[in-house]
């Protein structure tokens, strides 16, 4: 299953809303996660099962979608949110990640 | 939960390397675990996975036949034996634990170990 993320880069001002998209080449039900990765760090899970926030993740992060179309929304970007975001499907083997969306400061 | 990778380094093309991942803070033998890699400046690529008991393994096509995943539940340790290494295997290799015993997202990651394949 090929996971396609868009856009590749998103330029956003602090306090603004960011909307990231992820499309699967075939249906993955709700078996989708979103990860955040900062330079020099391991990825951290934000959202799993398409819409459930992981432990300790702020409420400004939300996920939606099922099947082939998914969205990660950051309602009001904070300075610590500028990073790369990956989606990943775990419905089928092999597990696959999207190519990532870099959220940068506008 | 803690995952600590080791064993990375510089190896020549065609060479071999064995990575280890020491796990603690959870019942290691009950969980599927995986290796995920990231080439310099690139995205994440899942490499291989193994079931809790070690009886079932999965591989990405890019490493099938060259890499072998295994685990020692008595030592709470995951391994990745990498043979016939290529330049394109150069990456940071992370071990990661599944959220649920047999599936789900990756809820815990190690800090990674760097493998460089170069002459």
Measured CB to CB, residues of chain A less than 8 Å from chain B are 31, 33, 35, 37, 42-45, 48-49, 54, 86, 88, 90, 93-100
d(CA B101, CA A41): 25
Residues ≥6 apart with Cβ < 8 Å to B80: B18, B19, B21, B35, B47, B48, B67, B68, B69, B93
Q: For position B102, what pLDDT does the model report?
A: 87
d(CA A54, CA A40): 21
- Chain A nearest-CA distance from B107, in A, is 6
Kindly report, residue by residue over B20-71, the tens digit of the pLDDT.
999 999 999 999 999 999 999 999 999 999 999 999 999 999 999 999 999 9
- pLDDT for A91 beyond 90: yes
Query: Which residues on B lie below 8 Å from A97 (Cβ)?
Result: 43-46
Residues ≥6 apart with Cβ < 8 Å to B39: B45, B88, B90, B91
With CA atoms as reference, the chain B residue closest to A84 would be B43
The residue assigned the tokens 């796990």 is B23
């Amino acid at each position: 299953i090929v996971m396609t993320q868009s856009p590749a880069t998103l330029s956003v001002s602090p306090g603004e809303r960011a909307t990231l998209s992820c499309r699967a080449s075939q249906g993955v039900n709700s078996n989708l996660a979103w990860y955040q990765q900062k330079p020099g760090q391991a990825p951290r899970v934000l959202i799993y099962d398409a819409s459930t926030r992981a432990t300790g993740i702020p409420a400004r992060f939300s996920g939606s979608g099922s099947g082939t179309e998914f969205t990660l929304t950051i309602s009001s970007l904070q300075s610590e949110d500028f990073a790369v975001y990956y989606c990943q499907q775990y419905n089928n083997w092999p597990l696959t990640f999207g190519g990532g969306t870099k959220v940068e400061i506008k | 939960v803690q995952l600590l990778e080791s064993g990375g380094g510089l190896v020549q093309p065609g060479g071999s390397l064995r990575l280890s991942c020491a796990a603690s803070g959870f019942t290691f033998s009950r969980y599927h675990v995986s290796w995920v890699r990231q080439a310099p400046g690139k995205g994440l690529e899942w490499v291989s996975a193994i079931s809790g008991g070690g009886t079932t393994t999965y591989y990405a096509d890019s490493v099938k036949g060259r890499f072998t995943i295994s685990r020692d539940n008595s030592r709470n340790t995951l391994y990745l034996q990498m043979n016939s290494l290529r330049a394109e295997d150069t990456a940071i290799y992370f071990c990661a634990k599944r959220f649920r015993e047999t599936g789900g997202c990756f809820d815990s990651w190690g800090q990674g170990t760097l493998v460089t394949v170069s002459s």
